[in-house]
Structure 1
């Protein structure tokens, strides 16, 4: 604890007491603190104050006396066993002095003077008056008022003063400690209140205002701990760079935020190691940094920093930055209690930053969804409880022919084709009961003008926290044209199947890349097989060829595979009962590779056995 003697005793009251003591007992006393300030002066003799310390020659002797005593008390010399030193000045008077030392601290010097041990030699003083032009009678009258003490009396007086002063100082020291402890308690309580207010304010702040909240908190904290700069450094995610995002400076302190952008932390190895390994970074004297911190020392000195403190900021157990404080006007001593409380503020900042980032990401996600929702070429809608339509996008309005306001007054059933109502209701009931979270279906919708439109529907159900209503979002793609194409294709396939049946032809389909092969039912029938009795493959076809026809038939097929020309061939194939039937095979490549090679082959088999027999008979 650093203090001065004037901090420990009530000087005006003590002056009154020593003045009264001098008036009653004629005991003079003086006390001067170590910086030369006169604290007490009772009974100082007129011969000294009005003569010796006024005339230049005698005043020089007084200063020599003062210097001697000062050198003795502030040097390494030991005091005599009596506990004080005495000095007879060249002006003929005696001073006695003892140091005032409390808890090892030299605070002041206690003087007894001026006095004499025996009646004065008036001839000496008369000569001195003549030498320096003093009024002899007045000068000698002042001399006769100088007290004469025995050595024992001097020791008793100094001992009394010392003990008396010691009592006062001890009482003052206890009082000072009490006041200091009380101030520290008040400081801690005020600090805790400030931190609580900051925490509460961040809880109540909208996330959009958290950055301004950090600035306000930095200002309050900087003023409270008397920091000249208060700031936040945040690291780039997963990177080795950091930038000052917030800074508040005391009046007259230059801002440094612009110079603290994209700082490469790998250029500050000592600092980086400290913030990684320590919960708190504290540099009480930048000038005293070790040689391994030379880079940091030069950087901080360039910004005028004399003392620096920083606490980490964490988000999800990851250190994302630093809450820092600088002092440039003077060196600061921030104790562990203060640093630990700043660490608490760092945790508050981390929570606030995490909330701001989370809510900003949510807003961006919602904005992104809104943009997609509005700009999507696919119809989209959101639903609340049941099947009530909440929001629709322009694409769905165009698809169904309603305005947005009109659709928001309808339910799913209102725009569903009557024949699809039962299926739709069942799907919704299952989702509402929690049996499914996703629906994929094709269904028909009724447009405002009464026409029907087909939609490919994908619905995702979103569970709500607590017991809130389940919400859902649906995407509806217009597949009317596709359904029409499918209908026409089905009709075409029916007509083809009927034509093939009438013409007694079997169909085969081969993918040359995957080997996947298809034989129609008529293909199997003309050979006497059921579909599960004969593998649909190129190999099974080749296996059933007549030995005399196999080589030519395979060569013709391979040539077609290589060149892709139209294919027509006659060959015999063995039936299930071992007989051979004459087959007319025709084939076309319906899909080709980029190089023009056949990829998918579609062909027919026609049983021409009777025709061949008829030609033979002719």
Structure 2
């Protein structure tokens, strides 16, 4: 930088210094810069300021003196001295700092010897000065010796140079500092404005400084970044980052690619330049975000690959031929098109010319020469002959590309293999000719219409059939051909074609002579020569219409026949719509045929809104469409009053000429009356069965009552013979027990006779029942029991009854001569495998087989009916009772039989999962018990009286109550008086009052330890079957013997004793 003298010296300070020197030495001085500016000055001598410089003539001399000094400054050593014409000495010392002349230090005026006063008197006169004043001024001029002058000048020069030098250094340092500050500010500005990220880190990886670009790059604020380390920001492995830092420190610098983790989780790819500054022990670096560049490079590679692939797929090769250098480039695809190997063969323009078909070379050479000469692009198809003799057709395009200097000229272009296109083009030409031949040879007329309905093409059949020439027809709108009756429908039909893409309809076209031709139009929307058109095939249906009319007449004839049939008759299409219906069907549904035709069959027949098979009905028509075979079904229809009609439907397929089922004929036979007659027959049959049952019951009970009355009458006649009375009464008692067994069997059959189940083993039950049933018979038996036979939950008594009934029947069937085979085994039954066992599961199978007369097939379905029997002395209740018992056990009985071959009854009983069989309780022994207090509740007075007598006969005290409320009151009072009842016997059912179930519940609320017995004539009652669950301790089934009463009371009184009552 170029400085001025006033920049180097503190002018004000130096002025003071000069003033002091002038006061001491009376030596005026001044500092003047190169531009003549007086920077400092002390008082000049009066002789100059008041005389020489103010007089015009003498002032001119002063100027010449100044010019002399300035022109001789280069001779200064250290100053230039000059004796002016006025007799005074002036002195000038150049101020030069580091070789640069900044200004001059002037001194004067002075004398080096005593002045010649006479000289100055003369000079005063010459210039007209006041002599006295002038001489006085001369006397004030100092006189110096040369040595004093030199010392003074050297001092002044040195002082100026020192002061100026210091000033210069200070200025330079200030300038340097300013430049440094400016550079730092510029650097900081550059760092803050630059797009590259800048960072400073210590050798541990802690970031010390970053610019804004780096913060933007990683997504963090500057404060956040300066709290982080480089490994934390890096997306690379920490060990790799640490090794990279060590490499920078070791090698002093490094350039590499790195990955940073953005705050949002994304990864940034960056080029990194880093340098280690050992004097500051830091690393500085720059990150340039190249993520987009890398992506662009990847995209470029992908595009290049796609371009190559596109060239391969499109069979387009590219080439360049530098006409200046002769350099040739072919793409790989061009090599492949020419049948060459890019790895083995080289691009050669002469070789390519040799491969071009000789007939095509002149044309190709011509267009290439014109392109080079006129810079006009070319496009041409030509053939090439490959090394293997194959001929291909190429489409070549090229252009001239000139360099910026216009000296580089390159011919660039592409070559596409269009062999297959040419073949297809030829095939298309041939196809077009074939299409036209087919178009014109069609026996149906063909119209092509534009979207406005104008005929733009028609085949030969179309215009000849209508009596027009082709040109005449192509000038018409389709509305001109339509009969007026059909033109009103034309817009709607065209709209339907546009919306649905196709439409088929009937119309009528007018021939040129005005006659009408009925036609069927099959029109669709197609693309034709780049435009959408209506492509319509027109079929002359004159013959069809004639045939249809004949058919209609024929159908009318058939219809007349069908209308005479009593059965309903309808034809149903595949959409389940009625096509035709006879009068009988119309009468059934209560509609006229014009209200039926076209409607869904399920809507008319069933009066529902969806197909009957979706409502769970069996549909014969649907099965015809599915199987193609005739089908039948039973349906419920509704008549006009919505009454249910039971109909039998039969459906038969109707097929077209190709064998496809187009519709179905359904006959509808009203069998409502027939079904009602059948129901009446079944009701009559049921009444007959009930009559048979009632007759059987009356017969059996009359026989038993006859025996009872007889024995009692005979006892009354034998009052004097006690033994005979006892005998007659025993016989009457036995007859009564037979009556009990009969009622039990009837209950079991009618209501099920709920079993009182417990876990039992079947082996002893089966064996004992068989032995008992065959006792006294000559029939033998064979038992085959599986060793691992599963136990069952069953009523042992009921199960014994079943086995005995079946074995007795077997014995009767064999007339007491033969062998009954009884087997029992485990059976695992799959669900649905055996009718009657839909769930399947674990069962025990008991099979009882005889070799008797067998059962006739007509009787197999009736053997379980009550009172049905084929035996002379049979009751008809045995098998009916057995069936009910097994059913109530969750099992079934299956029968198979052949006449004269025998029968097999197979019983399936659910097996128990419990294997712990309870031991059968031993018969109670007759023991002596204390007298007990018994409370008996029964609503029948006869039962109360008899039971009270029986209890008294057993040695106990009995009190009776007619209902539950009375019994509860008696029980409470006896308990409060200290004479509680030991046992309470409660009748289960009390007409109009509280029964045993409610009574025992109330008694247990009063006395949880009450001992109660349920007594009932209903062996099938739930409470009887599971008495303990209802709070009872025992059960007495009416009627009961005194022995049963005794055993029951003895056991319960013993229990009462044990409980301390």
| TM bracket, shorter-chain basis | 0.3 to 0.5
TM-score, scaled to structure 1? 0.39
The structure number with the bigger radius of gyration is: 2
TM-score, scaled to structure 2? 0.25
Structure with bigger RCO (C-alpha 8 Å, 6+ apart): 1
